[in-house]
Amino acid sequence: MCNRVWIPREVIDRMSYRTFVDKDGAYWQVWDSQPSKFERRVSTDDRRQRKSFPWRATERRSGVDRRTTSQRRITLSEGYGRGWLTFESLDEKRRLVPVPSGWEQLSNTELRALCEQAKRIAKTDGGTSAA
């Protein structure tokens, strides 16, 4: 069995990436995630303003989603829209928001401290996912 979590090379090439060993000897990988397509509409309120010249013809659009093209978008929890750090070991996964400025240059001791602050999340697919 492999002692490390596998992340595809093309993913690693696009992001900042670090590794460290914690005080218990566990190997951790750390990377930043910057979402590119996420759902910006977090409010259920209708933000549209009534126009001074309302449309008088028959409405051709139907349904709740009025976008003309359909795109898969992810709804992120509050605070995650500007990115997060993912910490992953063989046994657990954690996320930290917001991404600390200059985290790539921090010492391993400082990375360990950030890892302790990060929120634990459920690990999926046997530790092969990149989030």
pLDDT for the residue numbered 129: 44
How far apart are the C-alpha atoms of 64 and 125, rounded to whole Å?
33
Whether 101 is in a domain gets the answer yes
Whether 51 is in a domain gets the answer no
Whether 118 is in a domain gets the answer yes
DSSP secondary structure code for residue 24 in this structure: T
Task: Give the total number of structural domains in the chain.
Answer: 1
Count of Cβ atoms closer than 10 Å to residue 32 Cβ: 17
pLDDT over threshold 60, residue 126: no
Whether 113 is in a domain gets the answer yes
* pTM attached to this predicted model: 0.59
pLDDT over threshold 60, residue 69: yes
Both structure tokens of 23: 């005080």
- With beta carbons less than 8 A apart as the criterion, state whether 32 and 15 touch: yes
C-alpha separations of 112 from 5, 19, 71 in Å: 18, 10, 38
Residue with tokens 């696009």: 14
pLDDT for the residue numbered 20: 95
Whether 53 is in a domain gets the answer no
- Reported as a single tens digit per residue, the pLDDT across 81-110 is 678 999 999 999 999 999 999 999 999 999
Domain extent at residue 32? 9-36+72-126
- Reported as a single tens digit per residue, the pLDDT across 8-46 is 665 555 568 999 999 999 999 999 987 765 545 554 455
